[in-house]
Structure 1
Amino acid sequence: MVRPPSSRFAPVETAAPVEIQGLAARLAALRMIDAVLRRGDPLDQAAPPLLRPVPRADDRALATAIAQEVLRWLVDCDALIDQAMKLPLPHDAKARSVLRMMLVQVLRLNLPPHAVIATGLPLLSGGPRRLAHGVFSAILGKGEAALPAAPSLPEPVMLRWGQAWPDRLAPIAAALAEPPPLDLNLADPATTAAWAERLGGISLMPGHVRLARGQAVEHLDGYAQGAWWVQDLAATIPARLIGAAPCAGARALDLCAAPGGKTLQLAAAGWTVTAIDKSPRRLERLSENLTRTQLSAEVIAADALTWQPDHGFDAILIDAPCSATGTARRHPDVLHRQPALDDLIALQSALLARASGWLNPGGTLVYAVCSLEPAEGEAQAAAYGGTPLPVTPDELPEGIAPTAQGWLRTDPGMLAEAGGLDGFFAARWKA
């Protein structure tokens, strides 16, 4: 058993030499982990500036994979570290983060221990390198070190989800063990069989093709001509619940639209779409995808709580800001960032109340969140006073059924044999 030093180290202050091959990628990964755990930043927002000093694309991908795997298996890595020490190592010690990185590289990414040591210990320049080496060697020394089949959830998440989904907690955790496959949504659902064969994938419903993860999207057949876009299967269902435009010129509003997958779906289904989002930067990606797919929509950067349309809409889709806990397969950092649920719930309620006044008579309203928190999904739908338009089984992938209330509820453990899907909630009403 190894004794820790008494001092702590903040990863953000790491200043290791980067001449060692592969060290720049590990330094970027360390700083990304620090941004999530110490500052509470979303990983996809923290990563781009931290990856800029890493010149090679494969090293940037490795840095991202290391950070994601540490966040996915954090609880279990910490258990291995704690078992190898006589005294506890502070949770925020830099040595602990470096050890987490070293462990996932061997146990998850199958990198050789000697290479992991060579690129890990220099991150502790001026710090407890001997301690880290000793703990790492002690963990791997018996040749029996292993992570469990499913990642252990952080205690706050386990308590919330265990109360909300007691019968689903084990399948959800099991589904978080691996990043998700690559889902494509087709602009023309009639071409589903052809594209599934062409790309070597499978389809779980019309307009969907699933491929193995790890492929470079921009190099896939059909990308340049805009035949499809990347979108998780569960994320496509809310726009599917609106359906095709009933007539030429029918207007649809996509509220909180960026990055735009649902806007593309509505446009491809024949709607005249208005897409609203607060973030001009995120709307740039939506505009790029509209250009690539040769679809059209009116894109407006505005706050939905102050923006006022000059006409009504025949369909409104509210993909509301939420905790995003349903996306933990691809964004494991959400497991370690405590969601400000009270603020999010208030915003969601305000969006529902405001948007409902813009719906034309006979129009359709869909509310959706990529969340596993019932307070953001089921509770919001129960509190809304509209006329329900229940989801029907034939609108969903085979193996997914509507809830007793006629709502959609998915979680990552569903359709596990086919690769799973994100956690989503959606409800639908008629004006």
Structure 2
Amino acid sequence: MVDTPGLPARRAALRMMDAVLHRGETLEQAERGALRSINGPADRALARAIAAEVMRWLVDLDAMIDSATKKRLPDDAKPRSVLRLMLVQWLRFDTPPHAVIATALPLLTGGPRRLAHGVFSTLSKREVTLPEGPTPSDAVAMRWGDRAQDIMAALAVPPPLDLALRDHAETEKWAGELGGESLAPGHIRLPRGTPVDQLPGFEEGAWWVQDLAATLPARLLGAGEGRRVLDLCAAPGGKTLQLAAAGWTVTALDISERRLERLRNNLERTGLAAEIITADALTWQPAKQFDAILLDAPCTATGTCRRHPDVLHRIGQRQIHEMAELQQKLLARAVSWLPEGSTLVYAVCSLEEEEGEGQATNVPLRQKPVTQDELPTGLHPDSNGWLRTDPAMLPDAGGLDGFFIGRWVK
């Protein structure tokens, strides 16, 4: 039997949603299995987009569904999942209701199918609309406090594309050639949509993809002038590339050989050099000393919620606590390896206080505060001399990821 056109993409999206919400997988992990049988790039992209938008707007979609049912559907009920998918297509992708029904209802049979059809018809007749920005879950609102609403509002539209340049002196040149804008030396921001490998400068290695916020930890180490730096937990390697381009002699260490392969490819493409070591930082011992260590520690990555909205629903206190324990151990290792006079930069792409400020207060080194003149216009260090970014910052320029960054000298 031949599937209805578009049905395989919807089925794959449903599987990805289930993997995130019921098994705690990331969307990237979920798509490996869900998209295995889909060959067409358009259908693969559609499945990813549907699943991501459901994650982004989940709280609001569920509120709509609940408003149209006499008895609340269980969270794991298949009709609820299919209705989420249907509403996203209608409200976010402007798919006509009749096309939504034709491509989604075949995912259900019997009574559940009639139920979903009735609920969707009710909501479409009401002409319901989504709010200007996604609503946070109660858990997210509690953790992010006063910033939660502003952060969620910044998630309404997927983020632009940021590029980091190999040569900061060529910022004006590449901004013109790529048709982008620069928010800092060595940074270019472009609208979403253009395949990265088709952009000018890709083949010659003039740049790599890296969110503006993710470039800030390496920027805070300044020019290397041949000095030695350890990029700890380095993969996928954007900061290694930055440090090498800034004149540091870089050792990049990560536990994942698969993720380090991406770094090797980018080093080859850009013509930059770094020593790469595959090892567990909790057991590895350096054979030499470093003038600086950059620890961009493993974390919950809630600061990347613009691009990875699944973190809004699969991260809770257990995951935050587990990451904080690992970060504490990695920080202790990094501090023990620093010789006198060397610098440590600690960073996480997390919005959770336990992973950022909570770790920084326990670093037994002399703080070297982040200063205003080191940051792009519109960003400011806090009263402690640390830097905290979140997606609601730089709203007129397209925002940026959430990071915590601290710097110390031994």
Query: What range is the shorter-chain TM-score in?
Result: over 0.9
Structure 2 matches for 1:14-33, cutoff 5 A? 19-33=3-17
The answer to whether residue 291 in structure 2 is matched with residue 308 in structure 1 is: no
Q: Find the aligned partners of 2:325 and 2:148 in 1 and give their Cα distance.
A: 27
Q: How far did 1:270 drift?
A: 1.1
Runs of 4+ in 1 over 6 A off after TM superposition: none
TM-superposition CA deviations, 1:361-408 (whole Å, max 9, x none): 321110000011111101111111101111111111101011111111
Match of residue 267, structure 1, among 244, 248, 265: 244
Match of residue 54, structure 1, among 11, 26, 38: 38
Match of residue 354, structure 1, among 300, 316, 333: 333
Q: Find the aligned partners of 1:426 and 1:348 in 2 and give their Cα distance.
A: 13
Specify the code of the residue in structure 2 equivalent to 1:157.
V
Report the counterpart of residue 129 of structure 2 in structure 1: 146
Task: Report which stretch shifted further, 130-139 or 43-52.
Answer: 43-52
The answer to whether residue 237 in structure 2 is matched with residue 278 in structure 1 is: no
Task: Report which stretch shifted further, 401-410 or 120-129.
Answer: 120-129
Q: Find the aligned partners of 1:268 and 1:49 in 2 and give their Cα distance.
A: 37
Q: Find the aligned partners of 2:315 and 2:110 in 1 and give their Cα distance.
A: 33
Structure 2 matches for 1:40-119, cutoff 5 A? 40-119=24-103
Note closer, same or farther for the CA distance 1:114–1:357 as it changes in structure 2 (3 Å cut). Answer: same
Report the counterpart of residue 275 of structure 2 in structure 1: 298
SS of alignment partner, residue 161 of structure 1:
helix
SS of alignment partner, residue 336 of structure 1:
helix
Specify the code of the residue in structure 2 equivalent to 1:263.
T
Report the counterpart of residue 378 of structure 1 in structure 2: 357
Structure 2 matches for 1:216-235, cutoff 5 A? 216-235=195-214
Tell whether the 8 Å contact from 1:311 to 1:358 is kept in structure 2 after alignment: no
SS of alignment partner, residue 426 of structure 1:
strand
The answer to whether residue 153 in structure 2 is matched with residue 169 in structure 1 is: no
TM-superposition CA deviations, 1:179-232 (whole Å, max 9, x none): 111000001111111111111111101000000112211111111111001110
Q: Find the aligned partners of 1:237 and 1:177 in 2 and give their Cα distance.
A: 24
SS of alignment partner, residue 383 of structure 1:
coil
The answer to whether residue 233 in structure 2 is matched with residue 256 in structure 1 is: yes
Match of residue 35, structure 1, among 5, 14, 19: 19
Specify the code of the residue in structure 2 equivalent to 1:49.
G
Note closer, same or farther for the CA distance 1:259–1:126 as it changes in structure 2 (3 Å cut). Answer: farther
Match of residue 143, structure 2, among 152, 155, 160: 160
Q: How far did 1:317 drift?
A: 0.4
Q: Find the aligned partners of 1:225 and 1:126 in 2 and give their Cα distance.
A: 57
Tell whether the 8 Å contact from 2:254 to 2:277 is kept in structure 1 after alignment: yes
Tell whether the 8 Å contact from 2:163 to 2:208 is kept in structure 1 after alignment: yes
Specify the code of the residue in structure 1 equivalent to 2:121.
S
SS of alignment partner, residue 291 of structure 2:
strand
Tell whether the 8 Å contact from 2:223 to 2:247 is kept in structure 1 after alignment: yes
SS of alignment partner, residue 243 of structure 1:
coil
Report the counterpart of residue 5 of structure 1 in structure 2: none
Q: How far did 1:36 drift?
A: 0.3
Match of residue 107, structure 2, among 100, 123, 141: 123
Specify the code of the residue in structure 2 equivalent to 1:262.
K
Tell whether the 8 Å contact from 2:299 to 2:348 is kept in structure 1 after alignment: yes
Q: How far did 1:284 drift?
A: 1.3
Tell whether the 8 Å contact from 1:234 to 1:422 is kept in structure 2 after alignment: yes
SS of alignment partner, residue 299 of structure 1:
strand
Report the counterpart of residue 403 of structure 1 in structure 2: 382
Report the counterpart of residue 426 of structure 1 in structure 2: 405
The answer to whether residue 175 in structure 2 is matched with residue 204 in structure 1 is: no
Specify the code of the residue in structure 2 equivalent to 1:358.
W
SS of alignment partner, residue 132 of structure 2:
coil
Report the counterpart of residue 158 of structure 2 in structure 1: 179
Q: How far did 1:48 drift?
A: 2.3
Q: How far did 1:126 drift?
A: 5.5
TM-superposition CA deviations, 1:127-148 (whole Å, max 9, x none): 6111111111110013x21000
Report the counterpart of residue 134 of structure 1 in structure 2: 118
Report the counterpart of residue 393 of structure 1 in structure 2: 372
TM-score norm. by structure 1 comes to 0.93
Runs of 5+ in structure 2 lacking a partner? none
Tell whether the 8 Å contact from 1:192 to 1:209 is kept in structure 2 after alignment: yes
Task: Report which stretch shifted further, 50-59 or 184-193.
Answer: 50-59
The answer to whether residue 344 in structure 2 is matched with residue 365 in structure 1 is: yes
Q: How far did 1:252 drift?
A: 0.8
Across the aligned residues of Structure 1 and Structure 2, the Cα RMSD in angstroms comes to 1.2
Provide the identity percentage: 64
Match of residue 171, structure 2, among 181, 192, 200: 192
Tell whether the 8 Å contact from 2:293 to 2:338 is kept in structure 1 after alignment: yes
Note closer, same or farther for the CA distance 1:231–1:18 as it changes in structure 2 (3 Å cut). Answer: farther
